[in-house]
Amino acid sequence: MSIIAVLGFGTVGSGVAEVLATNGASIARRVHDPIELKYILDLRPQPESPWADRFVTDFSVIERDAEVSIVVETIGGTGAALEFTRRALAAGKHVVTSNKELVAEHGGALLALAKEHGVRYLFEASVGGGIPIIHPLCQCLCANEISRITGILNGTTNYILTRMIRGGLSFESALREAQEKGYAERDPSADVDGKDACRKICILSDICFGRQIPPDQVPTVGIRGVTAQDVALAAACGCQVKLLGRAFRREDGRVSAFVEPHFVPNGDPLAGVEDVFNGIAVTGNVIGDVMFYGLGAGKLPTASAVVADVMDIARGMDVRFNLCWEPAGAELLAPVEEVADVWCIRAEGDPETLEKALPGARRIDGPWAAVRTEPMTRPALEEALSRCAVLGAYRVLNA
């Protein structure tokens, strides 16, 4: 029997309890052993909960109970979550989490602490909700050198963009709709300003490239600036506007990582990822391109990934599988200013001015002054356009 404790009984934490209850019989059969939820740590009492008798408010009860072998951290943030994770690992307990902020900020150190104590720190649910991505990267694609990860990593912004594209809504109306449907928070900034996507591309990059990339060093642009005209321009170019997190290894060995809205050509599988779905494309040197698709958030999908990690540990998977990555090195990150892409540019005025400013640019048909450039960096683009009134500038993925 594996005895677990859940820290934080919000959306994901209660989802974990629900999945263990709903699929308990098949889970026990697959693990060859039942998994028992002994404690729920939460400051808010929930007397109506079917698990009311398991609530505790003092972490040290869990920490001192030798029966508890796995701690599920679904508190979120980097306050109590960090402290309890450290104490649980130090007490020789495995920790499973969905907390992307904590993993993005402190993953390397927590993995090292887990290794030191011979236990595991698993966080499949921290990226892509329930979509299997971290295990496939570490295990199924382990014969590859991964060169590139490109992801639609945030369901809220993808929903807003989809409604702008398909429904003709403005950003503000689409955001309001997302809030009404519960897809966006009342304070939507972690989503719409790209912070959530940034944390996730950092985690994927850490895994693939072996060094912790601090989220605050990853240039991040959200979707507040995307207008209906940009959406129309994308359509005229045979593209969809998508907020992408990208990380890739450059020829000189350095890594570029950034988050910003892109034009994704319709032939690309990421262009078909709509609504609250996420899609993560990975390129390896022997497998070529693969993509993982599914619900990137939500109570049960995220809990599905958390429980799978718990089952991995309960089945006694070898500790040698423990991931680790090294601390950040300032020399690893190549500035996004060096990344050359094809751009689609919309400006005020006449297209001829734009074409003249950008050698090789081709005019885009439509009621705009708009061109498609040759591959170039943003600083080169900005310099060339210093005399133009630019209204929108988007990188075109894989153009």
Catalytic residues: 200
Query: Site for a copy of itself (CB under 8 A): which residue of 38, 54, 117, 135?
Result: 135
169 sits near a copy of itself (criterion: CB under 8 A):
no
Q: Give the other-Cβ count within 10 Å of 335's Cβ.
A: 13
Distance CA 257, CA 201 (A): 8
132 sits near a copy of itself (criterion: CB under 8 A):
yes
182 sits near a copy of itself (criterion: CB under 8 A):
no
Question: Are 56 and 40 contacting, i.e. CB atoms less than 8 angstroms apart?
Answer: yes
Query: Site for a copy of itself (CB under 8 A): which residue of 3, 81, 82, 271?
Result: 271
5 burial level (CB within 10 Å; 0-12, 13-18, 19+):
buried
The phi-psi region of residue 257 (left if phi > 0; otherwise alpha if psi is between -120 and 50; otherwise beta) is beta
Closest CA to 135 of 126, 95, 70, 14: 126
Distance CA 290, CA 131 (A): 13
Candidates 5-13, 212-220, 282-290, 358-366; binding stretch for a copy of itself (CB under 8 A): 282-290
Query: Site for a copy of itself (CB under 8 A): which residue of 102, 218, 295, 313?
Result: 295
Closer residue to a copy of itself in complex, CB, 48/318? 318
Give the torsion sign (CA, 40, 44, 50, 53): positive
Spell out the long-range contacts of 111-115 with Cβ–Cβ below 8 A and sequence spacing 24 or more.
Answer: 111/322, 111/323, 111/324, 111/325, 112/324, 113/86, 113/89, 114/89, 114/322, 115/319, 115/322, 115/324
Distance CA 244, CA 50 (A): 40
Site for a copy of itself in 27-66 (CB under 8 A): 27, 30, 32
| Contact characters 4-23, a copy of itself, x per CB under 8 A | ---------------x--xx
Query: Site for a copy of itself (CB under 8 A): which residue of 75, 184, 273, 384?
Result: 273
Query: Site for a copy of itself (CB under 8 A): which residue of 288, 330, 365, 367?
Result: 288
Closer residue to a copy of itself in complex, CB, 261/294? 294
Beta-strand ranges (E) seen in 98-186 are 121-122, 146-152
367 sits near a copy of itself (criterion: CB under 8 A):
no
317 sits near a copy of itself (criterion: CB under 8 A):
yes
326 sits near a copy of itself (criterion: CB under 8 A):
no
Closer residue to a copy of itself in complex, CB, 233/307? 307
Closer residue to a copy of itself in complex, CB, 197/310? 310
Give the torsion sign (CA, 144, 148, 149, 150): negative
235 sits near a copy of itself (criterion: CB under 8 A):
no
Query: Site for a copy of itself (CB under 8 A): which residue of 92, 118, 316, 349?
Result: 316
Which positions touch a copy of itself (CB under 8 A)? 19, 22-23, 26-27, 30, 32, 124, 130-132, 135-136, 139-145, 267, 269, 271-274, 277, 284-295, 298, 300-301, 303-305, 307-308, 311-312, 315-318, 320-321
